[in-house]
């Protein structure tokens, strides 16, 4: 039986509760009542205080009480607001246990901030914590109610962020880094723009109307959120987009009112902490499973094809095995990490397979796990293009570009002013009249063996071809990309079959 990520983490927590001293021997099995029945939950501690890592426990409780911050609790839970939830899968508790121990370590927090935003040169203690100030704040809110939510209770009943870092950039702008911590969240399909208020007639949409009135004008004036003709039933009111929308508005209002806010922010970077993206669930299926399924379809179509997995992660290998792909190859440490070029990694797994199985491969297909919107028709058509051009070394997938370097993309020139990236001899008056350009969408790459024999280090050569994907295709670079893909797949919005 396949076990999804959330269930795996639940079972892991139960194992830690019963067979280790991480939770100090605390008892679990909180009774959850649902439709008149009692359901004991072994992953929920009877006393939530034991959910906080013991060395920081007293300081965490003091910080929350003295700064008047509420802990998250499940709906209809009876715990006091200053007592942590006993749910061991709580994202808030996970965030606290990871970040609280370092919140007063300036050097460590600065190092983290530089990894997130390389231009950060200094960090500040967060001044809106009246007690136990540090370089990371939890459950951050604005001084004033710019989102018209009528309450500013940190941690409940208003928009807040799980954690916040505040620092100075090399450009002398002050940055806030709001941190949203995800662990095992899953969301239903509730439309918050049409939700009824408790006690009112069904279909009255009292809560929904209030939310639309509260946020619509702010969205219309947002720098980062796209305006829509009508926000009722829009993606902004489905979780997790509802949360992302509010946190974006929160950060924008913090910056807009920096003259009156205690925190004087000029810009921001929104960070979402999520589990390993290659195994993150999309519509109850690991992300990597979509690429494995496509690879198997191509294998059946083409024949004489072997499927390889290149990773240094045992967890990814296990998830891949659950999805039907086993491997004996492990990427060496020297080729692991986000800063290593993928060509060297592909060459290494190619050499491993040729030596281990005594085979020679004429073509290599590389499919990125984080750009899964590709079909068998895409792969077969692209392969024919490369095969029919004997001079070409490789081919990569692209999408029509929404911007054009000849028309509406600019860069800073040596004189300090800005102009088009590529300045044409004759100015183009419309983007459509400029030369056609494409975005590389990172979905797939075909290589001839001669590409590797000639020692190329990048996918773009003087003998490269493209395949224009005729449908939506994008790389999952940011948390919002995962949520958008999940929305498309879960709600059957794709006009093609993966």
The pLDDT tens digits for 15-46 are: 899 988 889 889 998 887 655 677 678 899 99
Q: Which of 109-123, 225-239, 480-494 has the lowest mean pLDDT?
A: 480-494
Helix 241-256 vs helix 206-220: crossing angle, to nearest 10 = 50
**Is a pLDDT exceeding 90 seen at residue 337?**
no
Contact 410, 420 (CB under 8 A): yes
pLDDT at residue number 50: 94
Highest mean pLDDT among 19-23, 320-324, 332-336, 377-381: 377-381
- Residues 399-421 have a mean pLDDT of 90
Residue-level pLDDT at 90? 92
* pTM to 2 decimal places: 0.64
Which CATH number is 284-401+437-490's, of 3.90.550.10, 3.40.50.460, 3.40.960.10, 3.40.250.10? 3.90.550.10
Cα→Cα distances 226→216, 292, 417, 477, 479, Å: 11, 34, 29, 19, 17
Give the per-residue pLDDT at 1. 32
Residue 352: predicted pLDDT:
92
- Specify which residues 176 forms β-bridges with: 166, 268
Predicted local distance difference test score (pLDDT) of residue 188:
67
Q: What is the pLDDT of residues 230-289, one digit of tens each?
A: 999 998 998 888 988 999 999 999 999 999 999 999 999 998 887 666 667 777 788 899
More confident residue, 318 or 255: 255
Sign of the Cα torsion 439, 442, 444, 449 reads: positive
Q: Are the CB atoms for 293 and 157 separated by under 8 Å?
A: no
Which one-letter DSSP state was computed for residue 435? P
Q: Which residues, other chains included, contact 440 with Cβ-Cβ below 8 Å and sequence gap of 6+?
A: 396, 397, 398, 459
Predicted confidence at residue 467, as pLDDT, reads: 97
Computed over every residue of the chain, the mean pLDDT equals 89
DSSP labels, 272-306? EE-S-GGG-BSSSSBHHHHHHHHHHHHHHHHSS--
Most confident of 297-301, 354-358, 417-421: 297-301
Higher pLDDT, 187 or 371: 371
Mean pLDDT of 211-215: 95
Tell me what pLDDT residue 278 has. 66
CA distances from 10 to 17, 41, 177, 323 (A): 11, 10, 30, 20
What pLDDT is recorded for position 3? 42
From residue 373, how far is each of 241, 289, 299, 342, 444 by CA, in Å? 21, 12, 18, 20, 10
Looking at the chain, which residues constitute the CATH 3.90.550.10 domain(s)? 284-401+437-490
SS3 per residue for 198-225: CCCCCCCCHHHHHHHHHHHHHHHCCCCC
Per-residue pLDDT, 71? 92
* Dist. CA 422–CA 411, nearest whole Å: 9
- 2 pLDDT band (50/70/90 cuts)? very low
Q: Which residue has the higher pLDDT, 3 or 496?
A: 496
Identify the weakest region by mean pLDDT among 422-426, 448-452, 455-459, 478-482.
478-482
pLDDT number for residue 12? 85
H or E element, residue 264: none
């Amino acid at each position: 039986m396949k076990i999804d990520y959330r269930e795996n983490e639940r079972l892991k927590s139960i194992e830690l509760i019963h067979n280790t001293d991480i939770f100090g021997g605390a008892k679990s099995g909180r009774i959850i009542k649902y439709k008149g029945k009692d359901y004991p939950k072994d992953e929920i501690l009877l006393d939530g205080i034991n959910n906080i890592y013991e060395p920081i426990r007293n300081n965490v409780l003091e910080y929350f009480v003295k700064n008047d911050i509420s802990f998250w609790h499940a709906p209809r839970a009876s715990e006091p607001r200053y007592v942590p939830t006993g749910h061991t899968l709580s994202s808030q508790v996970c965030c606290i246990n990871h970040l609280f121990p370092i919140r007063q370590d300036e050097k460590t927090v600065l190092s983290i901030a530089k990894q997130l935003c390389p231009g950060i040169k200094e960090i500040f203690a967060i001044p809106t914590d009246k007690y136990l100030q540090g370089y990371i704040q939890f459950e951050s809110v604005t001084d004033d109610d710019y989102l018209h939510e009528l309450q500013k209770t940190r941690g409940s009943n208003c928009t807040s962020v799980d954690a916040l870092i505040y620092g100075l950039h090399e450009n002398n702008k002050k940055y806030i880094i709001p941190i949203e911590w995800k662990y095992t969240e899953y969301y239903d399909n509730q439309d918050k723009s049409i939700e009824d208020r408790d006690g009112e007639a069904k279909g009255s949409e009292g809560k929904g109307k209030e939310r639309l009135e509260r946020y619509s004008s702010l969205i219309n004036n947002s720098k980062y959120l796209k305006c829509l003709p009508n926000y009722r039933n829009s993606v902004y009111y489905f979780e997790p987009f509802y949360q992302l929308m509010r946190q974006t508005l929160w950060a924008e209002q913090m910056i807009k009112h920096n003259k009156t806010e205690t925190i004087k922010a000029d810009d921001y970077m929104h960070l979402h902490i999520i589990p390993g993206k290659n195994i993150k669930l999309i519509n109850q299926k690991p992300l990597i499973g979509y690429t494995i399924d496509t690879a198997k379809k191509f294998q059946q179509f083409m024949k004489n094809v072997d499927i390889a997995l290149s990773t240094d992660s045992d967890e990814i290998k296990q998830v891949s095995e659950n999805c039907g792909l086993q491997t004996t190859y492990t990427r060496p440490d020297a080729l692991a990490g986000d800063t290593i070029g993928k060509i060297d990694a592909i060459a290494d797994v190619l050499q491993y397979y040729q030596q281990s199985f005594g085979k020679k491969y004429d073509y290599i297909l590389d499919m990125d796990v984080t750009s899964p919107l590709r079909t068998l028709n895409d792969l077969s058509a692209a392969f024919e293009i490369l095969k029919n051009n004997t001079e070409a070394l490789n081919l990569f997938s692209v999408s029509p570009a929404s911007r054009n370097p000849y028309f509406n993309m600019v860069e800073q020139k040596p004189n300090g002013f800005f102009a088009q990236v590529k300045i044409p001899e004759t100015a183009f008056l419309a983007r459509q009249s400029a030369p056609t350009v494409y975005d590389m969408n990172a979905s797939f790459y075909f290589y001839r063996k001669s590409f590797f024999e000639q020692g190329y280090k990048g996918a773009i050569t003087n003998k490269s071809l493209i395949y224009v994907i005729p449908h939506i295709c994008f790389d999952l670079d940011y948390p919002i990309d995962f949520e958008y893909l999940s929305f498309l797949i879960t709600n059957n919005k794709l006009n093609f079959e993966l």
